[in-house]
Every structure is written in C-alpha cells, then in structure tokens.
Structure 1
Amino acid sequence: MLDSLRKAAGTWVAKLLLLLLVLSFAVWGISGQMTGGLGSTTVVAAGDTEVSAMDYRLAYDRQISLMSQRFGSRITREQASALGIDAQVLSQLVAGAVLDEQARKMGLGLSKDRIAALTAEDPAFRGPSGQFDRNQFEFVLSQVGMRPEDYLKNREQVAIRQQIVEAVSDGMSVPDTFLRAVALYQGEDRTVEFLALPPSLVQPIEEPSKEALSAWFEENKARYEAPEYRKIVYVKLEPDDIADPAAITDEQVREDYESRQSAYTTPERREIEQLVFATTEAAQQAHERISAGASFEEIVASEGKSMDDVKLGRIEKSRVGDPAVAEVAFDLQKNAVSGVVDGAFGPLILRVTDIVAESMEPLPQVADQIRNELALAEASRVLLDVHDRYEDARAAGETIEEAAGRLGLEAVAVDAVDRSGQTPDGTVLNDLPESAQLLKEAFETEADIENPAINIGSSGFLFYEVKDVTPRRERALDEVRDRVVADWTSAEIASRLSAKAREIEKQIADGTSLDTIAAELSLEKQIKRGVRRGVDDPELGSAGVTAVFGVGQGDSGVVPGPTGDNQIVFMVAEVFEPAGASAESVPPEGRTEYQSGMADDLLDQLVARLQGEYAVTVNRNAMQQALSF
C-alpha cells in the first residue's frame, strides 16, 4: 500500500498526467472536491478530513479496472470481494486521509505562483508550440468533466502530501552493514549430501483389503464420477465437402492448363561459378591466362579462394541477382568461361558447369490436380448458396440428417463425448472439427434444438445439434475397481516412502551417518556442491533447494524429489560464505530496491502513527451505498 502511496506523492507530481490526477481523487481520499451522484455521505473521516462516497466509488472502480487488465477479463463484484479489493481501497483511502489531515494540522500549503508553475509544467496542457496553452487546459478538463478550480485544488493537495513523504524518506541510504548481510545471504553456497529413496524401497505393496479400498473410494469418490456425456450430430460444410471433380469437363481442364502453362513449367537452370577481381586489369590477365591454357580452378586458387567460394549454385535466370551476370551466364555453353564482365561487385569472369533445360509437365500428368483445383474453386463460389439451402431446409422442418442428405453432406454422429473430448471408454476424439469450440457450444446448449453454425476459418461452417444428454453421475466401486486399486497403490507407496524418509531423518538426527544408512539400503549417497539459493537443481528440485537453505549446517531434512515419485533425505554438510562479500558487491538496482523498501517501511510507520493520533472512522453503510450505484 505504502509503495503506491509513495508513487502517488512522488511520481504523480513529477510526471502528472490528467487521467492519473483525476484518479487520485479516488485513490488517496481527497475530500470535498467532487460532489453530486452519491451525495456528500462520508465513507472515511480522519480528524476534519473526510472522504466521500464518490471518492470511494471512484477508487473502487479504478482498482477493478486495474485488476481486470491484469487478469485479461472484466472481474465481477463477487470476484472483487473475494480478492479483497474493497478492503484494499479502504486501506488506501484511510492512508491518504491521515496524511491530508497531518498536512492540514501542519499548515502546509503552496503559493498560487507555485501551483501555476506546476500546472504549466503539465505536458497534458501543452499546445502545438510545446508551451502551456489555456485553451488546451480548458479542453482537457472539459473532456473529463472537471472544473479548473477542482484541478488546481487537487494539484495543490498532491504537492502538499509530497512534502510530508519527502520529509520522511528523502535522503535515506541503506546501511552498509545491511547490504553486506544481503551479499552474504545471496552469495552463500552449500554442500549437500543426500539419498534419493526410490519407490522400490517400499515395494511390493500388498493388495488392499476390501475395507481399505472401500474407505479410499468413499474419500475420493468425486475423482471417479462419470462426467456428463452428450450425443452430438454435426455437419461440416467446406469447399472440400461439396467439391465435385467429376463435374469438371476435359475441355475446362485443357483451357486452364493452356492459360497457366507457366505454372507447370520449370525454367532452365544453370550451375554457375563466379570469380570476382579487384581490378579490371587483374580480371583481364586471368582471362588471358585461361585462353592460354590455364584452368579455371588454377585461376581460382591463385586468387586465394576455394571452389566453394565461387559457386552460385544451380539457379534459374530470374534468381540471379546481377542482371549483367545473368545475361552472360545464360548465353554461355556448358563448361565455357566468359570474358570479363562488369558486375555489380566488380569485374569478374564466369563459368557454367551444368545446364538443366527448361521442362514442362504434360497435361495428362497434371490433369487430376487441375480438375480438383477447378472443383474446389467452383465449390467455394457456391458455398454460401449451399449454406442458405441447408438453413432453408432446417427452417422447413427437416432434421439435421435430412437437410444434410438433401445437399449431399455427411451428418456425423458422436454417440457420447464429455467436455474434454473423451468417450466413455477413454478414447480422445482428436478428429472433431473445430473441437474446442464445438464441445464448448454443445455443452452450453440444450438437446434437440437448432444452433447457430460455427465458422470454420473464413470459408466454412459447422452445423451441430445435441441429440441426447447423459447426466453426470457417481460410479460404483465395481465400475472403476482397477483405477481405484491403482490409485490406492500409488498413494500407499507415497505414504510409506514418506514415512521411511522420516525414519531415516531421525536416524541421522540420532547420529547415524548417511554412508551407513546408504550401505544398509544398498543406495548410493550423492554429494551436491555449490548449491545456491533460488536455483532449480535437476536432482534436488527447486523445493529441495529451498529446504536445504531452511536448515543449518549439520541439520537434515526430507523433501519430495523433483520426479514426483521419490523422496530425498538430505544433510547440509558445509556452508560457505562468499569471498569478498561487501556492501559494494550488491548491484545498484538491488540497493535501490532495498532503499525504496526501507522508505516504504518508514511511511508505513508514519501512517500507523497518524492513525493513532487522528480518530479514524469508517462508515460501512456509506461504503455499501457507494457500491450500489
């Protein structure tokens, strides 16, 4: 709370934006500045300072908005109550009220010139020139329904409150002794000896008695309930579902093929090698050497390059980045070397080592592909018409199966499925179209009614209907006996293993060494050195590391293993302080955090003392009245 209070008195003054200033009416109990709506009913009084019902409601609504943003959805009044928002807001208002009362008692204030200067500094009121603009000032205030005099009074009270906060916390520094203790705490590492107790240590587990199994089942009966199942019939309508390749004629296929021959043509590709030189003279000399009998490979080597350095790869003409290179390379014969080319990156010579001629897929080879594509295109064109004809058939009284059959669509029946997509035998239906939304909608509707279609992307629809509902029910033990036995056995293993671990821990406390215990149990004692706070160790787990730092040197403990099926019994063998730990070894951001925390602690104490000096009264009825509007 006091961290927010500090920000209210400091950050708001330093970087005041009008919206935050308006909200400060609500959050920090500035009384008597806003009237109307809920009237003048007082929610909080501290001495002569009062917080109105309107102030409380504004603070409450703001906190609701902040929490809703954090959760990603608007929270309800009931959820807010469960989160304690009403109590948080009240605490904030009381803190603000006692500070305002203290300021009043001390006679703190600001001159009109200082208030005017603070207002002029507010970026919300700057005009096009970057300076304070009276018209902008009045326009912004009118947008939020605030009078200029209300703004100025509020501005004054926020600045006055800052004077009290700064008097308490400004200039505070964290003692070096504290910072050194922090450095020692954060840098400490430990050596841990431990045994990982496997489940086999307490196995085999005997079959449970009838009484034990029945008792376990009764205690955990909710775990074995049969969920609600629903029978769903759905009809999917996408282009694929109504496409009819047989309706596409050979003539249509031929015409499409001829109009899009480039789509079935693979252009000529060439294996190109490119050697770039520093100067035209060097390139010309290299070309002359090749003409005199030197190989291209020799020239590449003489330039200090490998053959991999000069390969462009097998590419088509349009993909060659340099037009000059493309023209020359695609005019060369195989294995021929070009003359000097003025390339984009300098003079160069080229060689083409392989040529793959242009090719075109024949019509018979791609006819089926074209036929399917044309059928899909036609299906997409008439999809909405099919949708409307389906809706008309349902409106005329036809069942979902009849309407689907009329249009050549398939009505798929799922006899029983629960909310998670599982059937009674445990099979997960992974092939349900739009599974998440279909199941959500199907379990929110009623049986035997027509429901709005679910959109499938931008080009499809999913019609569905719930045909039957099997209510949730308790299962008898005989129906789930195998599951119950397995669960009982797992729980019994965990319980016995935990008891065994506690027994071993007691042996260690009584003086038995881990080595002796490990030998008796045919287990390997493990040693982990350099364990630091806050890490998620693969053998100990994060909970294990926390437990290790929860005891002293020579002490032991028990913690579940990170795999979840074993227990770890450990002993802290050694504790090492970090070398050179000092106040200077704490990073600047850490110092700032501790300084802020100490300042907040002082502010907490100040507010607590002020609450004792000034009689604070709370009108719960006024609070409820404020929230009823």
Structure 2
Amino acid sequence: MAETKRRKKKSNMAVWVVLGLLILALGGFGVGGFGSSLSTVASVGDRDITVQEYADALQAEQARVGQQFGQRLTIQQMQALGLDRRVMERLLAGAALEEEADRVGLSIGDGEVARRIRENPAFGGIAGGFDREGYAFALDRAGLSERAYEEQIRNDIARELLQAAVVGGTEAPATYVDTLTRYVAETRDVTLTPVTVADLAGGQIAPTEDDLQTFYDENQALFETPELRAITYAWVAPDRIVDGIEVDEVQLREVYEDRIDQYRQPARVLAERLAFADTAAAEAALAAIESGEMTFDALVEDRGLTLDDVDQGEIAQSDVDADVADALFALEEPGIAGPVETSLGPALFRVNAILNPTEITFEEVRDSLVAEVGLDTARRSIDADREMMDDMLAGGATLEELAADTMLTLGTVRWDAGGDDQGADIAAYDEFRAVARAAQSGDFPELETLSDGGLFALRLDEIVPPTVPPLSQLRGEVEAAWRAQTQSRQLTERAAALAASDTDVPAAPSEEIIGLARDATLEGTPRTLVSEIFAAEDGVRIAIEGDDQRAYIVSIDAVNVPDLTAGEAEDIRAAVEQQAGQTIASDVFEGYGQAIQDSAGFTVDQQSVQAIQAQLGGTYGG
C-alpha cells in the first residue's frame, strides 16, 4: 500500500509540473500597476494589442534569448539588441493577419477549435485523453477565460490557413536551385605541394639592427601593452577561512545520518521486465529462451519495444512486491526470473547484474564531511557579518579600514580586462571581473557576492593607458615577429616563383587530393586555402600563403561538375530546393503581412510601451 501511495504522489507531481509549464506558456505574467486607463499598447485596424499581450511576449522573448546567453537579459540589454522592437513587430504582424482573416471572411468552426484543444498533449490526463479539469485549472491560473483562450486558438488557426493560402505552391525556380547545387556540390582534384625553408636560397634568415628598428617603428601596435586597471580590493572566500572553523562532531554525525541512504545501499539487481497477456504466453516465452529458440532481446524487438522501454534500473527488495522480490533475489547469478505476477500481468525479468549490499562508514567519509561542513559553516559566518560590512561601507569606511576591522583581506592588482588573472586569486572569479570592468574612478565601493559564497568590494585607483616598451626591453619578441613575417613573405614569394616555373622542384613531396569538397578542411593548412582553391580556374598552378614554416603550390587538376540526378548531389539538390522554397515563401508572406499592416493602418502608443518596459525593468530586469 505504501508503494501505491508513493507512486500516486509522483504521478500527481508530474501533472502539476506540466500544468505549471502550461501556465507559463499561456501567459499570466501579472503586469499590474499601470492604472485602468492603460489597456492597449498598439492596434492594427480594429485589432488591439493589449498591455498583457505585449508584456507576456516581451518576457517570453526575454526568457528565450536569456537561455542562449546563459543569463537573463535586462530590459535595457534587450533594447540595445533591438529585441523589444522585434517583439512589437511580431505582434503587429499577427494582429494584421487576424484583421485580414476577418476582412476576407475566414471563419473557423467550433469543432475545429475543440479538436485542436483536445489534441494538445498539455491538456492530457495521466490515463491519456483530454483532462477537462486540468484544462480549466491551467486557464484559470493563467488569468484566461475559456472563451478568451478558445478565441485565441481560433485566431491562430485562421492565421495558419491564411499563411497556407498565400504561400501555397511557392517554390524556387529550377535554374536557381540547379545553379546553387552545382556550386555547393562541386569538387576539385588538386595537387598540393608545400614550400619550406629548405626551398629558400639562403636558408634560415637573421635580422640586422636596422631591420629590427624599422620593424619595431612600423609595427608599434604589435608590441603595445594593454590598458591596465589599478584596483584595490578587500575580499573573503569560504576556503580562505575554513581552516579556522571548528567543526562539531555531533553535527558531522547528523549530516551522515541525514544522508544514510547514500552511504548504505541494500542488495539490488539491474533488471529488465517484459509483461505478457497471460501466464501461458509468459511460460511459452521462457521455454523458447531456455531452449535457445528465442532471446530476450528478440522478444522485446518483436513487441516493437526497445531495451530502454523495458529497463527497470536498480531494484531493491523494498521497491517491489514480495512475489517479484522473491523471484529476483532468488537468482545467484544474472539470468531470467519468472514468470511472476505484476501490476501489468505475468512478466519475465532479465537480471543483468546482482549488486551486493554496500555501506560506507562514518569514518570513511569523515574527512570529506569535515571539509563540506566547514565550508558551509564558513559561508554562514560570512553571510552573518555581511550586514555589518555593508553598514561600514555606507558609513564611509575605506577598504583599508574594512579589511582591518573584519575578516576581509586587502589586496591590489593591475588588471587587464582581456588577460588572465594577473596572479591575483580573486581575478579568477567572473563576478570580480564584471565589477572591475565596469568600475569608474570615484565610485564608492560596494559589497558584492562571489559564486562560492564569498564577498568582495573594490576601488578603481587608476587606469594605466596602453604603452609601447622600448626596443631594448622587447628585442627577443621583436626579432621573433620580424623573423615570422619576413620568412612567411619569402616563402610565399618562392612558392609563386616555383608555381610559374616548370623546372624547379620543391624539396617537400606533393600530395594528390581527389574530390576536394568546398566545405572541406585540410589539417595543418591555413583556413583560406580551400576557398582560394575553389576561386582558381581549372588547369592553373597558384601559390598560397601559409605561415613562417611553409607556403603552398596548388595545381588545379580537375573541376568535377556534379550530376544533380544521382548520389550525394541529388540529396544536396533536394535540401537546397526545400530551403530556397522556404526562404521565398517566408519573404512572400512577410511582404504580404507588411502590405496588410500598411493598408489597415496601425498605431503604437510609445508612452504605454515605455511604461511597461519600465515596470518590467524594475521587476524582471536583473
């Protein structure tokens, strides 16, 4: 009975999770505080775009793009990227299509709306099928009436039909598709010959003092030091004070006991289960397995299932009914158990592994618990002192005074925003680098949080502008740069001379490459090599720049025009045709929507838009 209740609780939890996600999808972000006079932000013809619609769309875009960036964007960042305008344009286009559907008399019947709602898996119950109570609950939590949501579905279907009517039959011209496919699928046969230092008449080269001075004078940007930020900071991290934390033995025991399920595991088996309609079928299957006529894998495949479908994972005796447990744990080695009655009917179990009971003693994990509990205690100690530190900074205390009177440690760093941590431990934290990058001279230090629970505050003391050290300090670096640039140029010039000559032969062996594709990469060669090969004419020999160790001579031996009716080229043509058709259809529909919008006329209330963005910026911007 306990097992049944536990599974029911999990099932109910799954329903609430699905409904919660559905609520977010339907809207209901709860934008209030604008006053009763503010209800719409824009209109197209007779169609209004409401405050709630705009706020929901803006926040949905905020969340979507935030997933790509790995953090939630502020409203200000969305404005800088033009995302707020994209949201408004999308809403205006949707309203324009709804307006056009009304104008042409496009009507969607109640039956089609009901079918679309019933087929939405988000409204399905645990047993499958449409869940009327779940549907009503989700709409209520989203702040939508059933009538409003069904009208939204009706409009969505109308827009889909309108779009299908406009772009139906749109396809890319065959000449365009063929030309693009030939370009993409073309291959070339080439001979690639490296030109190395061994091909240079004078061999390895060395610069004179005049060469170095001239190169240094003409390439100052290569040797410029970055802008540095001279920063004073005070900080503390849990691992910096953990050694001074005394860990209570009783607390360690309590943590161990709280996690006893991790440290103490009963005997378990790794098993798969295949259920049958009746005992006779299960026994027949077992007999076929034992005789070698059939395998368990084959039985699973014959049912149209995969091993993942029948996998039961780790099973302990307490996880299953007594009859199943007896059958599984009676095995002394992996094999087939059953048939045995289960909630799904008679079943065979394949036991793939038998796992003995395990226990990790307190003594075995004590050291790791000491470290973990110590760090947790250190974090709580830091957090307990935070308010006092904030008050000190608010009262005008300097970082030096803060470090003298608290657990914070004082430090300085000349920090390069584009470089590494410059030897300062704190510069390894993203949070420190973000604040250091944004700091301005004269800013008052503020307490900030580190990812591990530590705290820091910083002060920008000076911005050290970029400088170019004298040649005497950079001689080795300048010589290396001169040598690389000069040698690269000489190798390219030698490759060009050899490419134009039929008599000289490079020292390095050539390599024949058959069927080189346009998107291929040749390991160890410059990224531009393949594109330069495809820019060259058939039958020519060209020189291509490499690095300071080699350049290349390339002979274009053959240009292979693909047969668009067979092989890989045929597949490429189909993909190009589909993509081109979709692009044309998208352009046509976008132009159609813009024409509708212009014809119907539209207005945008910028004051309302700004008011919504201001409120969302305060509520959701961080």
Give the TM-score taking structure 1 as reference length: 0.54
Match of 1:156 among 133, 154, 157: 154
Match of 2:556 in 1: 572
Match of 1:110 among 88, 108, 111: 108
2:81 and 2:540 map into 1 onto residues whose CA distance is 39
**How far does the alpha carbon of each residue in 1:148-181 deviate from its partner, in whole angstroms, 9 at most, with x for none?**
1211111111111111222345577788877766
Say yes or no: does 1:490 pair with 2:473. no
| Residue identity opposite 2:42 in structure 1 | V
Cα distance in structure 2, aligned partners of 1:108 and 1:385: 64
Deviation, 1:93, is 3.1
Q: Does the CA-based 8 Å contact 2:518-2:534 persist in structure 1?
A: yes
Aligned: 1:79 with 2:77 = yes
The CA distance in 1 between the partners of 2:434 and 2:106, in whole Å, is: 65
Match of 2:26 in 1: 22
For residues 121-159 of structure 1, the C-alpha deviation after alignment (integer angstroms, 9 at most, x for no partner) is: 333334455443443332110111112121111111111
1:14-163 correspondence to structure 2 within 5 Å: 22=26, 39-43=38-42, 45=44, 47-52=45-50, 54-127=52-125, 130-163=128-161
Residue 613 of structure 2 corresponds to which residue in structure 1? Answer: 627
Q: How far off its partner does 1:229 sit? A: 6.3
Q: CA deviation at 1:531?
A: 1.6
Residue 602 (structure 2) pairs with residue 599 (structure 1): no
Matching residue of 1:223: 225
Task: Indicate how the Cα distance of structure 1 residues 23 and 385 shifts in structure 2: closer, same or farther if over 3 A, else same.
Answer: closer
Q: Is the 8 A contact 2:181 2:572 kept in 1?
A: no
Aligned residue pair count? 451
Deviation at 1:598, TM superposition (A): 0.8
Letter in 1 for 2:516: V
Structure 1 residue 545 displacement after superposition: 1.8
Residues of 2 paired with 1:596 and 1:442: CA distance? 41
**Matched residue type, 1:213:** Y
Instruction: State the partner residue of 1:513.
Output: 500
The 3-state SS of whatever aligns with 1:116 is helix
Q: How far apart in 2 are the matches of 1:401 and 1:626? A: 46
**Which residue of the partner structure matches residue 304 of structure 1?**
none
Question: Structure 1 pair 132/197, CA: closer, same or farther in 2 (3 Å)?
Answer: same
Decide whether aligned partners of structure 1 residues 56 and 539 sit closer, same or farther in structure 2, where only a CA change above 3 A counts: same
2:403 touches 2:410 (CA, 8 Å); kept in 1? no
Equivalent AA in structure 2 for residue 228 of structure 1 = A
What is the aligned counterpart of 1:213 among 211, 216, 219?
A: 216
Distance 1:100 1:590, change over 3 A: farther
SS at match of 2:155: helix
Indicate how the Cα distance of structure 1 residues 188 and 393 shifts in structure 2: closer, same or farther if over 3 A, else same.
closer
- Of 602, 605, 611, which residue of structure 1 is paired with 2:594? 611
Instruction: Letter of the 2:477 partner, please give it.
Output: A
Deviates more, 1:60-69 or 1:604-613: 604-613
Q: 1:499 to 1:229 in 2, by over 3 A?
A: farther
User: What does residue 537 of structure 1 align with?
Assistant: 522
Distance 1:473 1:159, change over 3 A: same
CA distance 1:600–1:50, change in 2 (3 Å): farther
Gaps of at least 5 residues in structure 2 are 1-20, 248-331, 335-363, 390-399, 616-622
1:68 CA displacement: 0.2
Q: Is the CA contact 2:188–2:514 (under 8 Å) kept in the aligned structure 1?
A: yes
Q: Distance in 1 between matches of 2:477 and 2:587?
A: 54
Moved more, 143-152 or 199-208: 199-208
Contact 2:212/2:482 (CA < 8 Å) preserved in 1?
no
Structure 2 CA distance for aligned equivalents of residues 435 and 172 of structure 1: 56
Preserved CA contact (<8 Å) 1:115 1:152: yes
Distance, in Å, in 1 between the alignment partners of 2:207 and 2:193 is: 22
Q: Aligned partners of 2:455 and 2:25: how far apart in 1? A: 52
Indicate how the Cα distance of structure 1 residues 61 and 151 shifts in structure 2: closer, same or farther if over 3 A, else same: same
Could you tell me whether the CA contact under 8 Å between 1:558 and 1:568 is conserved in 2?
Answer: yes
Shift of 1:56: 3.6
Task: Give me the whole-angstrom Cα distance separating, in 2, the residues matched to 1:620 and 1:143.
Answer: 29
Answer whether contact 1:515 1:525 (CA < 8 A) is retained: no
Q: Residue by residue, what CA displacement relative to the aligned partner does 1:233-284 show, whole Å, maximum 9, x if unpaired?
A: 98944559999xxxxxxxxxxxxxxxxxxxxxxxxxxxxxxxxxxxxxxxxx
Secondary structure (helix, strand or coil) at the match of 2:225 reads helix
Percent identical: 18
Using the alignment, how far apart are the partners of 2:593 and 2:377 within structure 1?
Answer: 75
Write the letter of the residue equivalent to 2:529: G
Call closer, same or farther: CA 1:413–1:447 in 2, change over 3 Å.
farther
Q: Which residue is equivalent to 2:352?
A: none
Q: Contact (CA 8 Å) 2:427, 2:433: kept in 1 or not?
A: no
Cα deviation for residue 576 of structure 1 reads 1.7
SS of the residue aligned with 1:549? helix
Deviation digits for residues 344-387 of structure 1 (CA, Å, limit 9, x no counterpart): 79xxxxxxxxxxxxxxxxxxxxxxxxxxx999899979969997
Matched-pair contact (CA < 8 Å) for 2:233–2:412: yes
Counterparts in 2 of 1:552 and 1:452: CA distance versus 1, 3 Å: closer
**Which residue identity lines up with residue 558 of structure 2 in the other structure?**
E
Q: 1:180 touches 1:582 (CA, 8 Å); kept in 2?
A: no
- Give the direction of change, closer, same or farther, for the CA distance of 1:211–1:226 in structure 2 (3 Å limit): farther
Tell me if structure 2 keeps the 8 A contact 1:233–1:413.
Answer: yes
Q: Which string of whole-angstrom CA distances, capped at 9 and with x for unpartnered residues, describes residues 475-527 of structure 1?
A: 6544675337735862685378459748966x79xxx63645x65x8776654
Deviations 1:24-67 (A, max 9, x none): 99xxxxxxxxx98783445353x544545553443232212111
The 5-angstrom pairing of residues 397-416 of structure 1 reads none
Question: What letter is aligned with 2:514?
Answer: R
Q: Which protein shows a greater Rg?
A: 1
Tell me by how many angstroms 1:109 deviates: 0.7
**One-letter amino acid matched to 1:111:** G
Task: Confirm or deny that 1:547 pairs with 2:532.
Answer: yes
Question: How far, CA to CA, are the matches of 1:556 and 1:414 in structure 2?
Answer: 61
Question: Could you say what the CA RMSD is over the residues aligned between the two structures, in angstroms?
Answer: 5.9
Greater displacement, 447-456 / 131-140: 447-456
> Aligned partners of 2:540 and 2:131: how far apart in 1?
70
Aligned-partner SS, 2:523: coil
Distance 2:369 2:26 in 1: 59
Asked if the contact 1:38–1:53 (Cα under 8 Å) also holds between the matched residues in 2, the reply is: no
CA contact (8 A) 2:196 2:550 kept: yes
CA distance in 1, matches of 2:94, 2:502: 62
1:317-466 alignment, distance < 5 Å: 418=415, 436-437=428-429, 440=432
Q: Which amino acid aligns with 1:536?
A: T
- Return the letter of the residue paired with 1:599: Q
2:182–2:561: 8 Å Cα contact kept in structure 1? yes
Gap regions ≥5 residues in structure 1: 1-16, 26-34, 244-342, 346-372, 405-410
Kindly indicate whether the alpha-carbon contact (under 8 Å) linking 1:102 and 1:610 is maintained by their aligned counterparts in 2.
no
| Structure-1 residue corresponding to 2:565 | 582
Partner amino acid, structure 2, of 1:544: L
Measure, in 1, the Cα distance between the counterparts of 2:197 and 2:25. 62
The C-alpha deviation readout for 1:439-475, integer Å capped at 9, x for no partner, is 948986999999899898xxxx999999x98744246
Aligned to 2:163: 165
How many angstroms apart in 2 are the aligned matches of 1:153 and 1:240? 65
